[in-house]
Amino acid sequence: MIPAIGLGLFLLGVLAVSYFLSVDSRNQYLVVAPPDWSAARTINLILAGDGRLLRQGRFANVLIATSEQADFARVLRGAGAWLVVPAPGDWGCSTSSIPGEQK
């Protein structure tokens, strides 16, 4: 039973990775900083990488950003981000970064 669960989790991971790599992200990235980082520190990380905040997640260290820079993900990871991956589509678990915008 345990090998079947392991195989199932592995296949779920493969599907998730293939989804992130196969869709058009329109230069949008999911940025995950270390858990002890504040939203301000994570936003400053994005700005320092020549990016722009699109949406803030439920946690202060999880944001959706955009950038035209080809090496945006590499720069953010080098500056301390734990994860920077293409973010396809609209994320239902985020809040608006634009005052007055309704979700």
CA–CA distance, 47 with 19 (Å, rounded to integer): 27
Instruction: Kindly state the greatest CA–CA separation across the chain.
Output: 51
CA–CA distance, 52 with 49 (Å, rounded to integer): 9
CA–CA distance, 83 with 42 (Å, rounded to integer): 12
> How far is CA 80 from its chain centroid?
14
What's the pLDDT score for residue 18? 56
Spell out, as residue ranges, where the chain has pLDDT lower than 50. 23, 94-95, 97-103
What's the pLDDT score for residue 70? 87
What is this structure's pTM?
A: 0.64
Percent helix / strand / coil, the chain, rounded to 5? 35, 20, 40
